[in-house]
């Protein structure tokens, strides 16, 4: 254009040809000749020309709107928009022609170079035509002309139609991309930025026809993503099959793990984030699901060898597919059972199938179970992320293992009994590892096994009986430990489960207070009239709370004990009028000092043995008949009392006569002659189970009445299901036992069968 006074003569805003001719030179510099540069002054001249043209009045001129326009419009721009669009078309066609003979990496480099130049130039042009965008283009779009775009979007539209469509014909551009990605997978070094820029252009070309300010991923997904995922699947199918054929399963897991990491990293390097889920799914399907059987088959070998790292790797791989872990859980459950059964068999030391609990070492048995549990739990924590499914498998396996094994035989009651005996051993003074910290941990271990025991009522009966013995015999290692164990049981099973246990402790405290008061009253009244040295302590136990056997024989209280016995009876009667004391002599223990031997010994005796041995204060030799008459003991009690005395040679037996052995000697000062017999332990187990059976019968009946009282009417199967649900925390009831309890309640007229509906029961108030 001509200049005046050194200034550029700007074209008339009413002449589109002059205006475009002026603008095209500057646009060409921006789009194709950026190295020439564009001064600020020149840029502002171009901007002013666009502004002048768009604001020129056309009130008397024909409308130039794309849709015909309306007379009187103050803003114009259609002709300029069309010429700019034509420029982008011609420019893109020229770029496409130069790419006609290119392929592979050369095509990618050319495409990226031209794309960078084109989008950079288009951005400059977009800003140059800001006024056209802000007013004319915006107005056209608001009037519904969706084929009109803002200038930068217009540039992309023409690139897509004239350049991208040509170079992508027959997938030429994407094929070049996929070749680069495959090279990277095979270990070659590629220019990842090149791949990323091409992929980013696919994303940029996703134009939203309804809103040119937005983008979609149609081009990326249709032209690239589908082909990329298909190529990924083909590549890894071939690679995985070839690798499995030549390598071990553990090596394959490492390879698959590495490949999965690579593909996840590939998304970050040059793919769109939305591809992540599809790529992961494709790789999971090819690398894991297609070879899942191979991994499942290897699982047992890794378990047996305790290969924690490989188990962890297998878990993380199979975790990625929905059905991957279930076979592992099932195999793990079977593994825990098998290992547990073998451990119990070793603990039983080859005992016969179905051997009695008393023939199995309770501590060895419980420790075997705990060792299996601890090792299995450690495997779950280290290899399986403490996953809930594996914990459930462990619970299921332990519930079966700890109730049915070689030690228990066919009886579910053996395991609770053995656990109770183990706890008894822990809580006795004889336990050499009874330190407080060790004791608490040992009790926690007992509760682990207790959690899986089905017949918790059996444990409660045995534990209650053994606790009573520890308290009565003063053999508890620690009151704190006893209280702690009761608290743990209460937390697990509720207050009712431990109410009698707690009452035993209460009685022990009350008995201590009673004895202190009795001793003080005796001291204030003077010594015993006999002058005998005697330390007397009595336990007063509430009837109905202590699982102790009743006396089976009468006894003649020896004259040496009678004054103290009588005085306590009077004292207690005066303090608690209306109460009756029932003396349980079979549980009493005494210590007697000897005066007839050369060495001073202390005999530890039962009350029955005491009654026998004190008879020899009057005579050195007595017949069996004389002893029976003097003591008042029945044969069933007298004979067992005499056996240890004879066996230890405190007494000499000659047919029916018993003579005091004045030459008896012992290496120990305290001589324990009160030795329980194994037959008593077996009889005790039998008695406990009889009590359990009776308690279960009553519990079933009480539960049925409680349910029917609330429901009024209920069908047979529903009633059975509710009963099982309510009592299963105590024991696993058998359906025939429930049916028998229902029949008994019908006989007692608590229930009746509804007429014409034999499976429907009705509660009778």
Q: State the pairing for strand pair 670-672/657-660.
A: unpaired
- Radius of gyration over alpha carbons of the chain, in Å? 49
pLDDT for res 429: 83
**DSSP assignment, residue 72?**
T
Alpha helices in 305-325 (DSSP H): 308-318
**Which of 355, 454, 352, 441 lies closest to 395 in space, CA to CA?**
454
pLDDT for res 231: 96
3-state secondary structure of 605: strand
Which domains, from first to last, does the chain contain? Answer: 3-169 (1.20.1310.10), 228-304 (1.20.1310.10), 308-501 (1.20.1310.10), 511-678 (3.30.230.130), 679-763 (1.10.10.10)
**DSSP assignment, residue 733?**
-
CA distances from 301 to 166, 295, 535 (A): 57, 11, 67
Lookup result for tokens 């070998």: 301
Phi–psi pair at 621, nearest 5 degrees: -140, 130
Under 8 Å between Cβ of 265 and 192: no
Instruction: Supply the angle between the helices 479-493 and 414-427 in degrees, to the nearest 10.
Output: 150
Lookup result for tokens 């009876």: 569
Q: Identify the segments of the chain with pLDDT beneath 70.
A: 1-8, 34-35, 57-75, 209-215, 349-358, 432-436, 524-533, 676-685, 765
Q: In what order do the strands lie in the sheet with 657-660?
A: 621-623, 657-660, 651-654
- pLDDT per residue as tens digits for the range 688-718: 777 877 887 888 888 888 888 888 888 888 8
Phi–psi pair at 145, nearest 5 degrees: -85, 80
**DSSP assignment, residue 476?**
B
CA distances from 574 to 89, 92, 191, 570 (A): 121, 119, 105, 6
Phi–psi pair at 334, nearest 5 degrees: -65, -35
pLDDT for res 742: 87
CA distances from 697 to 686, 694, 727, 741 (A): 17, 5, 11, 7
Phi–psi pair at 530, nearest 5 degrees: -75, -20
Q: Which residues of 129-159 are buried (b: 16+ CB within 10 A; e: fewer)?
A: bebbbebbbeebbeeeeeebbbbbbbbbbbb
pLDDT for res 435: 65
Q: How far apart are CA 380 and CA 38, in angstroms?
A: 69
Under 8 Å between Cβ of 700 and 723: yes
**Which of 711, 712, 710, 719 lies closest to 743 in space, CA to CA?**
719
Alpha helices in 526-585 (DSSP H): 562-575
Q: State the pairing for strand pair 602-606/589-593.
A: antiparallel
3-state secondary structure of 753: strand
**Which of 144, 140, 143 lies closest to 132 in space, CA to CA?**
140
Q: How far apart are CA 665 and CA 658, in angstroms?
A: 18
Under 8 Å between Cβ of 159 and 219: no
CA distances from 11 to 45, 51, 734 (A): 10, 12, 105
CA distances from 335 to 306, 379, 674 (A): 12, 12, 47
Phi–psi pair at 185, nearest 5 degrees: -65, -30
pLDDT for res 351: 47
pLDDT for res 681: 55
pLDDT for res 530: 41
Q: State the pairing for strand pair 670-672/602-606.
A: parallel
Other Cβ atoms closer than 10 A to 651: 22
Under 8 Å between Cβ of 472 and 509: no
Counting every residue, how long is the chain?
765
pLDDT for res 381: 96
Under 8 Å between Cβ of 12 and 5: no
pLDDT for res 359: 74
Under 8 Å between Cβ of 156 and 200: no
**Which of 722, 688, 723 lies closest to 424 in space, CA to CA?**
688
Q: How far apart are CA 461 and CA 456, in angstroms?
A: 9
Q: How far apart are CA 696 and CA 441, in angstroms?
A: 32
Q: How far apart are CA 333 and CA 715, in angstroms?
A: 36
Under 8 Å between Cβ of 81 and 125: no
Q: How far apart are CA 650 and CA 614, in angstroms?
A: 13
Q: How far apart are CA 660 and CA 103, in angstroms?
A: 119
Q: How far apart are CA 19 and CA 14, in angstroms?
A: 8
Other Cβ atoms closer than 10 A to 754: 12
- pLDDT per residue as tens digits for the range 440-474: 999 999 999 999 999 898 999 999 999 999 999 88
Under 8 Å between Cβ of 312 and 382: yes
**Which of 67, 213, 187 lies closest to 133 in space, CA to CA?**
213
């Amino acid at each position: 254009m001509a200049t005046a006074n050194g200034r550029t003569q700007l074209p008339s805003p009413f002449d589109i040809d002059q205006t475009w001719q002026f603008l095209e030179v500057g646009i060409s510099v921006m789009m194709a000749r950026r190295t020439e540069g564009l001064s600020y002054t020149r840029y502002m001249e171009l901007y002013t020309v666009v502004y002048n043209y768009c604001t020129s009045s056309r009130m008397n001129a024909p409308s130039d709107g794309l849709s015909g326009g309306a007379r009187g419009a103050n803003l114009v721009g259609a002709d300029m928009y069309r010429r700019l669009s034509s420029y982008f078309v011609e420019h893109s066609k020229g770029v496409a022609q130069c790419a006609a003979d290119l392929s592979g990496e050369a095509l990618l480099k050319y495409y990226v170079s031209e794309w960078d130049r084109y989008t950079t130039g288009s951005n400059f042009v977009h800003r140059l035509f800001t006024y056209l965008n802000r007013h004319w283009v915006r107005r056209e779009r608001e009037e519904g002309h969706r084929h009109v775009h803002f200038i930068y979007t217009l540039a992309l539209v023409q690139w897509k139609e004239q350049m991208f469509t040509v170079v992508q014909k027959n997938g030429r551009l994407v094929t070049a991309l996929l070749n680069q990605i495959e090279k990277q997978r095979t270990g070659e070094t590629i220019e990842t930025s090149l791949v990323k820029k091409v992929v980013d252009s696919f994303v940029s070309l996703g134009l939203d026809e309804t809103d040119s300010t937005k983008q979609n991923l149609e081009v990326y997904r249709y032209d690239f993503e589908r082909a990329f995922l298909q190529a990924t699947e083909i590549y890894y199918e071939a690679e995985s099959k070839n690798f499995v054929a030549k390598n071990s399963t553990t090596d394959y897991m490492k390879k698959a793990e590495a490949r999965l990491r690579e593909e996840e990293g590939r998304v970050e390097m040059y793919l769109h984030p939305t591809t992540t889920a599809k790529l992961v799914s494709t790789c999971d399907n090819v690398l894991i699901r297609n070879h899942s059987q191979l991994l499942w088959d290897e699982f047992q070998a890794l378990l047996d060898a305790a290969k924690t790292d490989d188990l962890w790797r297998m878990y993380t791989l199979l975790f990625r597919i929905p059905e991957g872990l279930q076979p592992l859980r099932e195999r793990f459950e079977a593994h825990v059972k098998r290992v547990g059964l073998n451990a119990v068999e070793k603990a039983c030391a080859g005992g016969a199938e179905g051997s009695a609990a008393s023939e199995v070492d309770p501590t060895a048995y419980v420790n075997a179970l705990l060792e299996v549990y601890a090792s299995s739990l450690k495997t779950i924590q280290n290899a399986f992320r403490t996953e809930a499914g594996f914990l459930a498998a462990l619970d299921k396996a332990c519930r079966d293992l700890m109730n049915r094994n070689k030690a228990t035989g066919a009886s579910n009651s053996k395991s609770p009994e053995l656990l109770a005996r183990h706890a008894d051993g822990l809580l006795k003074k004889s336990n050499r590892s009874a330190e407080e910290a060790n004791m608490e941990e040992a009790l926690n271990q007992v509760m682990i096994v207790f959690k899986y025991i089905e017949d918790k009522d059996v444990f409660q009966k045995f534990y209650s009986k053994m606790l009573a013995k520890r308290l009565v015999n003063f053999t508890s290692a620690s009151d704190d430990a006893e209280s702690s164990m009761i608290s743990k049981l209460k937390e697990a099973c509720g207050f009712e489960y431990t109410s009698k246990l707690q009452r035993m402790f209460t009685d022990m405290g009350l008995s201590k207070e009673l004895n202190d008061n009795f001793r003080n009253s005796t001291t204030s009244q003077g010594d015993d009239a006999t002058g005998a040295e005697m330390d007397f302590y009595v336990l007063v136990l509430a009837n109905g709370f202590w699982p102790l056997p009743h006396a089976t024989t009468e006894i003649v209280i020896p004259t040496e004990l009678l004054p103290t016995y009588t005085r306590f009876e009077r004292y207690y009667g005066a303090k608690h009028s209306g109460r009756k004391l029932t003396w349980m002599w079979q549980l009493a223990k005494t210590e007697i000092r000897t005066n007839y031997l050369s060495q001073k010994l202390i005999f530890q005796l039962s009350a029955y043995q005491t009654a026998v041995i004190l008879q020899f204060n009057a005579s050195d030799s007595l017949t069996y008949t004389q002893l029976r008459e003097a003591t008042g003991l029945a044969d069933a009690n007298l004979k067992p009392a005499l056996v240890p005395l004879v066996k230890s040679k405190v007494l000499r037996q000659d047919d029916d006569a018993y003579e005091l052995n004045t030459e008896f000697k012992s290496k120990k000062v305290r001589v324990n002659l009160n030795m329980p017999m194994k037959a008593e332990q077996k009889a005790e187990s039998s008695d406990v189970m009889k009590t359990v059976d009776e308690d279960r019968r009553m519990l079933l009946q009480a539960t049925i009445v409680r349910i029917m009282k609330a429901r009024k009417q209920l069908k047979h199967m529903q009633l059975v299901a509710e009963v099982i649900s309510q009592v299963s925390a105590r024991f696993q009831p058998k359906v025939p036992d429930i049916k028998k309890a229902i029949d008994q309640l019908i006989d007692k007229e608590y229930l009746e069968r509804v007429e014409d509906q034999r499976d429907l029961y009705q509660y009778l108030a």
